[in-house]
A and B are shown apart, each in its own frame.
Chain A
């Protein structure tokens, strides 16, 4: 394929908005995305969800449809069902190797926008590997893409997505069994100091209050300040037990959704060796970017939640901003819109300190007990990781060499931040100084036969 001015990875709000803006400015753009249809996780299948499901999922989901329509009408080439498995820096640009319909190809571009969004922060708890336990995000994906509703789930953890899914289940007439919320009461007081600023983003707060009211009306029990959570069962999940404000509870259930927020998906930016910093409030690594989203690797931009969690609306703004910036740098006219987008982004971020403080990840899951499994692929416990760190493993990569954490099929996506956290805790260093796994290709598992048939130089 001819060299592109811009390649975008990810068809969520950031990727779609970047594609629209860059093609408007006259750039030749190809967007690659794993899913068969645009939308990313947040707007998954938005272009073909039946009306009833759209209503169920609410107006925010429907907002994605407008963006997807604009993207569909743009000049951008959409490579749907394309899994990018390697990216290399080449002369003044990038070469992306990707898998499409069982064959691998290479596409080259002068600039790259990484719009690979967020991953759910894994919530390692005793028993979280039992069948019947999944994540809230996974339950929502089932609903968006297949219209499947979870059976009577207990939702454990905290964060806006937890409340949103609960409200969507209520709307579908299948309310969750209970919400077991891990927010310590002290967080409410701590979050209050960020409230005045958050009021500038009033829409988010009223939306949250609306969700809570809906759940209360539906009679969904909410257990506050839950601690000592255990997911119990022999062959599969049988009950969730915990203490809430001094009382012990045990709720029998066959289904649980865990969630305590989302974190930037670092796989591509780590592969490309972009500089990252530790964000103490988001408790996650974020790539270091300038105010246009350009990373420490020239020509590589990050837009949307991958650059730091700010939600879908900000992702669309950042995507547009980045698309215009790439065009400007490619010699197209400078857009006066850029500064207004930067202002809009700042406004939209006003609610973040409040949310990040209130819904800080649960202490129990950040410092899991020694017997809790951390690496699910290789079945490694927190205790083993602490022992390796004490036995002079200076960072996550040495722990990986010792214990194989991060070498399994998830390629470190699930255990990565937990391993960094445990090594930091054991060595008394900050997570930022402790660092993260080195990420090596392929970004996603690749059939050997496909590599054998790969002829990158003939393209």
Chain B
């Protein structure tokens, strides 16, 4: 087994967050090695719906999301390629007065917190934005957001990281990870890597990596389902959801329509598998047809699903390990991490390089899951 020369930072996971953090850390002058168990962008980063969304995020995530949005608008300058980024509105449609009230309350809450990117539109403005929307829709919440090509984006970040000196090794699942004589040692089947610091960006497998260094994070593997139709004539120039029903709907530049929305299939991270459960998609299909009557003529071409890690509060784990000053985490984005990728990468690199915690990521430390010792003992007794 070969032992490689020590790096300053070892990143585990070749998804968008790992590649972005590796890129920015290398730009900050660190020697960085990235280990990916399969291939870059193989899992959630490569197969998510590609929404670049600030709309309707948890308030805690908004500053990070805003920061990332500014980076998305400069994505060509940052990565040298456009990553398929298209600035379009994200829309949450109201189907009733009750929905409108929910959306209005949200706007009030956002304004009170000092955020102005979400605004309410009425029936006429909605109709102007989305002429194909069903007649019963009476308004919407809108944010000037966008979407991008996830696989392409992640590969572009990986390519830029390599160009900045990051050594990316694919097909290298980390079997052991421990801290020894001031260095982190990661062992794969083929080699051992050492580094002064380690960053866990292992997505749905992030909980497993965290557990190896003594950090307990409750993480549930989930598989968001997505459908794509055959090409249709252009009729929708926004990413559309609804106020109350799970739906994520967008028409791609080539005319196909991608439909997702939080419906979950079965995920089996140990075997890299997801199972598509169409029972879960019947309701989504009904919703899509009700919001856009033109969808009555749509034909489903394919379905797919990636494996994501979801936390109990649906917020990511970002920050320093609870047990080691030189270990860091950025995982568990709970099916909405794609938009956050660029900023999380940049801020993690800042934290790791300078030791200073950027305020945008401060709310996401894993200590929020800390179980009091008493409860922990009880849990053990129960299990």
Contact = CB atoms under 8 A, between A and B. Distances in A.
Interface of A: 86, 88, 97, 273, 394, 398, 401-402, 407-409, 411, 440-442, 445-449, 451-457
B370 to A, nearest CB: 39
B295 to A, nearest CB: 6
A394 B299 contact: no
A451 B302 contact: no
Contact of B281 (A394, A398, A440, A451): A451
12 contacts: A97-B278, A401-B47, A401-B151, A402-B155, A440-B276, A440-B304, A442-B300, A447-B300, A448-B229, A448-B296, A452-B288, A457-B279
A455 B283 CA distance: 10
A394 B170 CA distance: 10
A453 B151 CA distance: 33
Contact of A456 (B39, B227, B279, B296): B279
A456 B300 contact: no
A446 B276 CA distance: 15
Contact of B278 (A86, A402, A408): A86
Contact of A394 (B39, B282, B285): B39
Given A441-B278, A452-B285, 4 more contacts: A86-B278, A398-B39, A408-B301, A448-B296
A119 B296 CA distance: 31
Interface residues of B, number: 34
Contacts of B282: 451-456
A446 B300 contact: yes
B151 A441 contact: no
Contacts of B228: 407
Interface string B27-48: 0000000000001010000110
A273 B272 CA distance: 12
A88 B275 CA distance: 9
Contact of A409 (B41, B276, B301): B301
A407 B229 CA distance: 10
Given A394-B170, A401-B41, A454-B282, A448 B288 contact: yes
Q: Which interface residue of A442, A448, A457 has the most chain B CB atoms within 10 A?
A: A448
Q: Which interface residue of B276, B286, B296, B300 has the most chain A CB atoms within 10 A?
A: B300
* Nearest 4 Cβ contacts at the A-B interface: A452-B285, A448-B298, A401-B151, A451-B285
Contacts of A394: 39, 170
A17 B47 CA distance: 42
A452 B151 contact: no
A457 B302 CA distance: 22
B278 A456 contact: yes
A336 B146 CA distance: 66
A448 B46 contact: no
Given A88-B275, A454-B282, A407 B289 contact: no
A401 B46 contact: yes
A285 to B, nearest CB: 20
A449 to B, nearest CB: 5
B303 interface: yes
Nearest to A451: B285
A394 B168 CA distance: 14
B296 to A, nearest CB: 5
Interface in B38-81: 39, 41, 46-47
Contacts of B298: 447-449
B116 interface: no
Contacts of A409: 230, 301
A411 B302 contact: yes
B127 to A, nearest CB: 23
A452 B289 contact: yes
A441 B279 contact: no
Nearest to B46: A401
A441 B304 CA distance: 8
Nearest to B256: A407
A316 to B, nearest CB: 34
A458 to B, nearest CB: 11
B302 A407 contact: yes
Nearest to B275: A88
Contacts of B302: 407, 411, 440, 442
